[in-house]
Amino acid sequence: MPVADTSRYDRRTFLGRSASGAAAVALAGVAAPALLGACSSGSSTSTASGATPGVGTGTPRKGGTLTVGLNSEIDGFLPTTNHFDNSGLVYANTVYDSLTAIGADGTAQPYLAQSVTPNADMTVWTVTLRPGVVFHDGSPLTAAVVVANAKALQASPLTGPALSPIASVTATGPLTVQYTTTEPLVAFPYYLATQVGYVVAMAQLNAADASQHPIGTGPFVFGSWVPNDHFTATRNPHYWRSGRPYLDSITYKPIVQDQSRESTLRSGTIDLMVTRDPNAIAHLGSNPGFQQVTDANRQHGQNDVGFIYLNTQVDPLSDLTVRQALAYATDTAQIARLFGAGVLKPISSPYPEGSPYRAPDNGYPVYDLAKARSLVAQAAPRHGGAVKVELATIPDPRLLDVLQALQSMWGQAGVQATVNQIEQVTFISNLALGNFQAYTGDQFDAADPDENYVWWSPTNAAAPGSIALNFARNKDPQMEAALQKGRTNADPTVRAQAYQTVDMLLAQDLPYLWLTTTVWSMTGSQKVQNFDNPTLPSGQPAQGMEAGTFIPTEIWLEA
């Protein structure tokens, strides 16, 4: 029974960021692939009128209160001290603005900032702010405020490490901020679209209860927050994006149990909800009373995927033969069938179909029980006669079922696996410290492949006992080379090649046992309009809902 749901660690949650090389993803821009209408995140299902779900038609109607069900509760709203999981980012998008935002073409575009321009070698970035923007307390948005924010972020143990390439931040004018970096940081604009890109008012930074009273420039003004109960915010009458937001107020209710959240939507108490429970997605997808969008067919970047971390520095998983045996013994198609409710698909790569970074045939082991058995027989003598693996997950009923299936499948190959449930806090700690053998994972959502550098780089693979963000601790020098090549090369072909190499290396080294896709959905009743059609200030479409995060600015309610 999960009482808190933060089982994913992505770039935004833990800010393991570093530079990304391609001009294709920098603000400087290179031809981006064709856009697909207003919705950049794809597969949508039933609507009553035949219109695209989540995309409103006609004139936006002002007014009304929207109640949204979120999948987790946050511990506070201060970017320097609180974890922004997907729910945290939703709150942030409600009361704050980030300096940049991701466009529908997958590139980082100016949002609260008017422009973000680098110098020639990408070591000095100049951020120009929009004039005339005020915070909810009336104070103006100035360079000094942004600098104060940046310094606070650098000083915080939570966000500091992610900002280590930033050498200095100074205000060079009333509305210009200059960031100097220690190395060419081509993906800098992407940073500003994440947790470290939100700007909060000075009054909040200096307040004693800073994490409980957000004061931002965002579309809604903070009203009240009762942890585990509700969060309300009302329309910002002085919002710098004129005419928006359309809603009078918005209320978020964290409802941690997936089933309960689905029931609440279906019983009408909430109008919109976010979920990644495949059962709920399956039910509501075919329900004509609701509009649903999912990020299953995301056009750019990669989604979270479900997999098993294999600790490559701990016996018996340090033995490659054992890891191969486990991969051959895992029938991912069956797993998807049993637990995917028809929504999840089996995978053999972290990159989605159609991604330029996916190797055409990465060599990942395909289910073959006979092969698995022979490999286990080979390996067993090296491990005292029997291969024993400890599987564990957080208390999530679906994951528990998945582990039981894995235990059985691996058992068929001769592996003795045990299943265990570990509470969340200890689970994360064990992952970080390497005190585990095989844990469930749900990660690697990224707008640009370089964002996963920190999770895959051998430089982050400290031995068990020390904190390492490369949880599986895979130390492959070829991996580092490929990751660096992708990070430092602007040429898209070279990049694609580099990450295809990464894909193949992952399939070879097997630090992760790929299982299925993870699909997030956003589902609303028919009266909720335009919840998946955000735009950039320039008028261009922005990226829609992905990984359970959305921007509430342009939602309106039918009468």
**Min separation Cβ 471 and another protein, Å:** 8
Q: How far apart are CB 259 and another protein at their closest, in Å?
A: 7
d(CA 389, CA 449): 31
The percent helix, strand, coil of the chain (3-state, each to 5) is 30, 20, 50
> Considering beta carbons, is residue 129 or 547 the nearer one to another protein?
547
Q: Identify which of residues 233 and 273 has a Cβ nearer to another protein in the complex.
A: 273
Nearer to another protein, 30 or 338 (CB): 338
CB distance 333 to 382 below 8 Å? no
Least distance in Å: CB of 293 to another protein? 21
For residues 447 and 426, what is the distance between their CA atoms, to the nearest angstrom?
29
Cβ proximity to another protein, 400 vs 481, nearer residue? 400
Minimum CB separation of residue 210 from another protein in Å reads 9
Least separation, in Å, of the C-beta of 229 and another protein? Answer: 5
Nearest to 402 by CA among 350, 334, 304, 322: 334
Comparison of 167 and 282: residue with beta carbon closer to another protein: 282
Give me the least distance between CB of 491 and another protein, in Å please: 33
d(CA 153, CA 164): 10
**In angstroms, rounded to a whole number, what is the distance separating the alpha carbons of residues 413 and 328?**
9
Kindly give, in sequence order, each residue whose CB lies less than 8 Å from that of residue 509, ignoring residues fewer than 6 positions away: 312, 320, 474, 476, 479
Closest CB to another protein among residues 409, 536: 409
Instruction: Pick between residue 25 and residue 280 the one whose CB is nearest to another protein.
Output: 280
CA gap 202, 544 in Å, rounded: 30
Report the distance separating Cα 507 and Cα 91, nearest Å: 37
Only one residue has tokens 């219109």, namely 51
Radius of gyration of the chain, Cα coordinates, nearest whole angstrom: 23
- Between residues 307 and 351, which has the closer beta carbon with respect to another protein? 307
CB 505 within 8 A of CB 486: no
Identity of the residue, 84 or 499, whose beta carbon is nearer to another protein in the bound complex: 84
Residue at token pair 């790569």: 349
Q: How far apart are CA 169 and CA 177, in angstroms?
A: 7
Tell which phi-psi region holds residue 436, choosing left (phi > 0), alpha (psi between -120 and 50) or beta. beta
Q: Would you say 535 and 286 are in contact if contact means Cβ atoms under 8 Å apart?
A: no
Distance of closest approach, residue 440 Cβ to another protein, in angstroms: 14
Name the residue nearer to another protein (CB basis): 22 or 255.
255
Nearest to 215 by CA among 192, 193, 198: 198
Q: How far is the CB of 429 from another protein (least distance, A)?
A: 5
Contacts with another protein, residue ranges (CB under 8 A): 1, 3-4, 9, 13-14, 75-76, 81, 83, 157-158, 161, 209, 211-212, 226-229, 253-257, 259-261, 263-264, 266-269, 279, 334, 337-339, 341, 395, 397-398, 400-401, 404-405, 407-408, 418-421, 423-426, 428-429, 431-432, 467, 469, 471
197: which residues sit within 8 A by CB, 6+ positions away? Answer: 98, 99, 100, 191
Closer residue to another protein in complex, CB, 206/404 = 404
The residue ranges of DSSP E strands in 322-446, in sequence order, are 388-393, 416-421, 438-443
CB contact at 8 A, 509 and 528 = no
In terms of Cα–Cα distance, which of 117, 125, 120, 123 is closest to 182? Answer: 123
* Residue 144 in tokens: 């000094």
Does residue 54 contact residue 272 with C-beta atoms inside 8 Å? no
| DSSP H helices in 59-159 | 86-95, 143-155
Query: Smallest gap, in angstroms, from Cβ of residue 286 to another protein?
Result: 14
Q: How far is the CB of 337 from another protein (least distance, A)?
A: 8
> What single DSSP character describes residue 459?
G
Q: Which is nearer to another protein, 174 or 465 (CB)?
A: 465
User: Among candidates 311, 344, 303, which has minimal Cα distance to 512?
Assistant: 311
Question: In the complex with another protein, which residue's Cβ is closer, 83 or 358?
Answer: 83
Min dist CB 275 to another protein, Å, is: 13
DSSP letters, 300-327, are SSB--EEEEEE-TTSTTTTSHHHHHHHH
CB of 258 to another protein, least distance (A): 9
The least distance separating another protein from the CB of residue 356, rounded to whole angstroms, comes to 30
